[in-house]
Structure 1
Amino acid sequence: MNTPHTPSTPILFYGVPGGSSFGSIVALEWLGRPYRLTRIGMPEQVKSPAYAAINPLGETPSLRTADGRLISESAAILNHVNALGLPYGRGVAQGTPEFDAMNYALSFLNTTFYGAFAPLWALLEHGPESEMAAAALKDYGHAAVQKAHAALERLLEGRTWMAGDQRTVADAYFMGIARWLDYHQVFPRDRFPRVHALYERLRDDPAVRVAEAAEAGEPLPAAAVATAQLTLDEALALLPSDAR
């Protein structure tokens, strides 16, 4: 049994279908260090008593780190992954202008960009009681998504990636959320050319293909950094006893 201080292969608990934790898979693939995956169905499994041992709030993603700690929330996990990448030249050092740009981009995605889709997810998953309420929620969501894309279009002016000339974990997170535009059919992707170009740049990335396979429950590509797909029961068995 692992203890909290025994190095082990990290485990990422990611949500399906359509979870924003997609971005954490991409970031871990870019990191290039072995990790494992555990697929968590939403909304049933993510709210189960078994998963509560991982995340009492019933949310994904969560990460069991190499030293046995549990980290939740995408921004926290992605900052952790960024720090892990520093010795390998794959992260951005805190205290630098590049880190501030990355942290701003990550914060924008985690609040404004993510939050813009919330009314549309609520409409899709729960549905209001009347057609009038549904129409109002849809109109509000469409306006919010358009406003968030316009802000991101301005942010990307003169940049190749979310934070500038260097690819960071913010770009991984962007890909997890940006694909929601296809689910909700708000407007054509090419309405915002810079956002569209970033999406297209990432779409064929090998790490994105790994994340797509994982989310679909398909075998991982041979080039995947992820070493295994564990069931929730298998992953729980690897947790330190005081965490269960």
Structure 2
Amino acid sequence: MADALIFYTNPMSRGQIVRWMLEEVGAPYETQILGYGTSMKDPAYLAINPMGKVPAIVHHGRTVTECAAICAYLADAFPAAGLAPAAADRADYYRWLFFTAGPVEQAITAKSFGIEPDGDQQRMAGFGSLGAALDALESAVADKAFVAGDRFSAADVYVGSQIDWGLQFGTIPSRPAFEAYVAPLRDRAGYKRAKDIDNALIAEMQPAKPA
């Protein structure tokens, strides 16, 4: 049991990113579904993630939280999956994986809260402005199949998930470079398996309609 890979998630969360990564890795894992405001706040889960948020994984008894960190960890923990690029391509790998997890997500969150930094605030905020963050992200994927080197990696799972989600829900505006980058990712078998699993779980969680 100590060697088990346990995945704590809710299908209506950023856990979908880690689900995709796990399906790309191909290793067996156990899923624990947690509820908002209920089991996520139980002492047993707070001992795993004091933030009371998902996703999280426990592997060999060690806990990893935060989607980008989990993706990077799984790529290293399961090298046979080939999801960590060669050393020569690690600069772009780390750069865009954590840029998307940091400035891009911060900028999107600020916008959703109605926060528009002025000129002085943009100098203090790591993301500057949403437009600046998205322009930088566009430069990472424009005319490229992958963000790091010439093959799919864990960075594509994370960056691709953020762009895919943003385009779907309108938090990232449609741009040709974004659409071209994410389209083939949606055709990956791992992506499709992950979506099928989470969509089925979401359907199960919906209240039954009256007859």
TM-score normalised according to structure 2 size: 0.77
Say which SS state the counterpart of residue 179 (structure 1) adopts. Answer: helix
Map residues 83-162 of structure 1 onto 2, 5 A cutoff: 83-93=76-86, 96-121=87-112, 123=113, 137=114, 144-162=129-147
Q: Does 1:71 align with 2:54?
A: no
From 44, 55, 64, the counterpart of 1:61: 55
Map residues 93-242 of structure 1 onto 2, 5 A cutoff: 93=86, 96-121=87-112, 123=113, 137=114, 144-182=129-167, 184-186=169-171, 188-189=173-174, 192-218=175-201
Structure 2 gap segments, 5+ residues each: 118-127, 203-211
Q: Does 1:13 align with 2:5?
A: no
- Give distance in 1, aligned partners of 2:130 and 2:74: 28
Counterpart amino acid of residue 62 in structure 1: A
- Give distance in 2, aligned partners of 1:170 and 1:55: 23
How far residue 62 of structure 1 moved from its aligned partner, in angstroms, is 0.7
Change (3 A) 1:56 1:168: same
Structure 1 gap segments, 5+ residues each: 124-136, 220-244
How far residue 55 of structure 1 moved from its aligned partner, in angstroms, is 0.8
- Give distance in 2, aligned partners of 1:187 and 1:80: 27
Counterpart position of 1:41: 35
Runs of 4+ in 1 over 6 A off after TM superposition: none
Change (3 A) 1:200 1:89: closer
Change (3 A) 1:207 1:146: farther
How many aligned positions are there?
A: 192
Contact kept in structure 2, 1:20 and 1:173, CA below 8 Å: no
Say which SS state the counterpart of residue 23 (structure 1) adopts. Answer: helix
How far residue 44 of structure 1 moved from its aligned partner, in angstroms, is 4.5
Which structure is higher in RCO with an 8 Å CA cutoff and minimum separation 6? Answer: 1
- Give distance in 2, aligned partners of 1:102 and 1:86: 15
Change (3 A) 1:118 1:176: same
Q: Could you say what the CA RMSD is over the residues aligned between the two structures, in angstroms?
A: 2.7
